A and B are shown apart, each in its own frame.
Chain A
Amino acid sequence: MPMDKEKVIPSKYIPEVGSHIETINGKDYLITNDAMYTFYQRTKGEFSPFFLAIRDEKRLLGCKCSKCSLVRVPPFLTHCPDCNFAPTELIEVEQVGIMNTTPPITYFATSLFQDMAPYGRGRVIFRGADTAMSVNLYTTTGILVPGIIKKGTEVKLVFRDERIGEMTDVFCVPTAELSQEQINKKGLQESEIDWESPVEPEMPDVTAEDSSRYRDALEEMKTIIEQMNRNERAKKDIAGWKRGILVKTKGGAFTIFIDDGDIRVEEVQVSSPDFIMVCEDPRTLLDGLAYRGAITDSVINKKLWISKNTEFNTIFKLDRMARSVARSKKT
């Protein structure tokens, strides 16, 4: 999970200087590309020992109140407000803990974290601590889905290979997915873990029935995609977006092309798609496009495989288009 840290703001987020006009009820309105930015040399102050211990020593620190002995991790204060500001001291805690509550999983992330989604973020009480630290949560087995990490699940703190003194230097995985040696190791790094890499699912042999089912589904899909192409709200959902998506199903393969407000399906297999979708039953994708269930959920439920998690963005847009068409029919 490498992170682009070359620039504080990656170039893909930065628009060109420009403007455009939107016409509403016959009147023109001007919209300009703009930004509100401020750069920092950010003080870490009293938190410096905590972040330096993570970055340089792969240790986890907390602070212990000299009066009530409460151990707070991270050490977010130097004096305990519960004890009339009695001083605290830094102590080291263990790197295994349990989930304080079941963590949420973000599938639709903010623009800053779209490359990271889907991700869990939850609070872990490490051994020796009384308070919970907020961390990212991953599974070594692919996409994080509900049920893998719950309240009480034991997790291990893992350190990134490249660390910069931020909370992104660490994350947690369930200890159930690690060896005892890995669990016991202090300062376990991400490169010491076997991450399941995405492998394209193999397609079973095709029967005549599969081919027939594929043909029916494809015809219906073409009709729906034509509807999307005629729907202003749906076209707006893919404004400025370009993708070639190779879709492989049990009965055959085809490509969905998205091109700045237009969408079409062609029975060709592009050689360099932006990403690949694999669903054994073509109706899985069809149902999503027809607003009979979300494509996002089919990916989460492993009924539909995508070759790049970052393309959840495109999946959301397809779900959005399906809803836009359904919504337009109501009004």
Chain B
Amino acid sequence: MGKRVGIIGAGVTPFKGTWREKTYYELAQMAAREAVKDAQIDIHDVDAAFYGIYNDIFERAAIPEHAIHGLLGMQNKFGIRITNGGATGAYTMSAAHAYLAAGRFKTALVLGVEKATDCFDFSSMSATPEVIKSIGWSADSFFEQGIGWSASDSYAEVVLGYMDEYPGDLKPEVTAQISSQLSQQVRSNPYAQRQFDQVTPEEVMNSRLVAYPFKELEICVYTEGAAAVIFAEEETAKAISRNSGKPVVWITGVGEANEHSFAGKNQKVMSRIMSDYYGSHRAYEMAGIKDPKEAIDIVELHDAFVHQLEISMAEFGLVPLGKADALIEEGLMTPGGQYVVNPCGGLIYCGHAVGASNIMSAWSARNELIKRKLKTALVHGTGSTVAQYTTCLILEHA
């Protein structure tokens, strides 16, 4: 068993559709400044940096983190970049946790940044088709890129596979209600891209099909922004906490899994997100959680799509597979229900600044645990083709 690791500071930039006023250098520094200020430490007290940046094409540089390192005052120290599709942020936290638990460092800055919407399609004179094109380069390049693979159609494959298996679940009325609820929750997040974009279930139902079965208001939005958390090993964390007066939120469990990326016999099970199942259950095991339904209070879930949010909750063991609509129909995630799910508005309303998103989720989970005086949160990241990658972290507030 390694050393205990906790979060002792966190900060985010505003998440915006586009930041014309800032480059990703400045966005990264903004989040880092907020995080060290929150921890009440100096950046020179940080031993190592872990960068979560998903896509070289967004940043228009093949080693986008190299300039950031010195701009943050981390020169001559350990710095590593993690890139794991949509799960980049969560995997970056997993890596930082492992180094600190192993005793390599006492403190680490975990920073995610993304400048997605500089990508611009001059044929349609809009950004989004080019943003999703750049993500399209993530697909298998021999067999799938050329035939129109996209993040949406790839996740839709899994959702439709689930719906083939459980035709009565993921009802449009329920997915619409979840989206509407998230749009209400985002109101209290001043950093969110869509803080004041409250929608009714009817609006969600009426929004246009983007990729069947996903409607526009059931999909995350692309975002520019950065998020940072500061991790410390136990003794250092306690010392910093005494100084700052802010409690340590401990990372008691971490679990990861990457599935097959092709389908069929002995390949990816298309009706499941097994990476979510393995990732969450490995994290529970490490945290000593026997019954997640009892233990988990808050879930900060990577909701790339509302339908996938429901399936992920089922894979986490928080609602039965095939009956994920109970999240709404039995009030499991409605206000006052058993679980607080995505109080920040999730990636659909707070925004999806890919490498920063899961770190923003950890920022939110940590804040909510402290504010609501709750004990345990699950933070989740999903990514790659057919929801292939997952990392889950268990956060605990004593």
Residue numbers of A with Cβ under 8 A of B are 12-15, 22, 24, 27, 29, 31, 33-34, 36, 44, 47, 70, 72, 74, 76, 82, 100-114, 116-117, 119, 121-123, 125, 129-136, 146, 150-151, 166-168, 237, 239-241, 291-297, 300, 313, 316-317, 319, 323, 326-327, 330-331
Contact = CB atoms under 8 A, between A and B. Distances in A.
A29 B20 contact: yes
Interface in B232-272: 262-267, 270-271
27 contacts: A13-B121, A13-B123, A24-B21, A29-B20, A72-B262, A72-B264, A101-B160, A102-B161, A105-B212, A106-B153, A107-B209, A110-B129, A111-B123, A112-B136, A112-B148, A114-B124, A121-B147, A121-B153, A123-B263, A132-B262, A132-B263, A132-B267, A167-B144, A296-B208, A313-B124, A330-B197, A331-B196
B34 interface: no
A129 B264 contact: yes
Contacts of B160: 101-104, 151
A101 B264 contact: no
Contacts of A326: 203
Contacts of B163: 102
Contacts, number: 186
B301 interface: no
A47 B142 contact: yes
Nearest to B154: A104
Nearest to B133: A110
A111 B264 contact: no
B219 to A, nearest CB: 10
Contacts of A331: 196-197
B188 interface: no
B275 interface: no
B208 A316 contact: yes
B123 A12 contact: yes
A22 B264 CA distance: 50
| Residue of B124, B135, B146, B150 most packed against chain A (CB within 10 A) | B124
B209 A13 contact: no
B209 A101 contact: no
| Residue of A24, A119, A131 most packed against chain B (CB within 10 A) | A131
B122 A15 contact: yes
B263 A76 contact: no
Given A106-B153, A119-B148, A295 B20 contact: no
Contact of A112 (B128, B133, B271): B133
Give 9 nearest A-B pairs by CB, closest first. Answer: A131-B264, A240-B125, A294-B208, A104-B156, A111-B129, A110-B133, A296-B208, A111-B121, A101-B161
| Residue of A15, A44, A106 most packed against chain B (CB within 10 A) | A106
B73 interface: no
A111 B130 CA distance: 5
Interface in B152-210: 152-153, 156-157, 160-161, 163-164, 196-198, 203, 206-210
Nearest to B122: A15
A170 B230 CA distance: 50
| Residue of B143, B156, B209 most packed against chain A (CB within 10 A) | B209
A258 to B, nearest CB: 11
Nearest to B215: A294
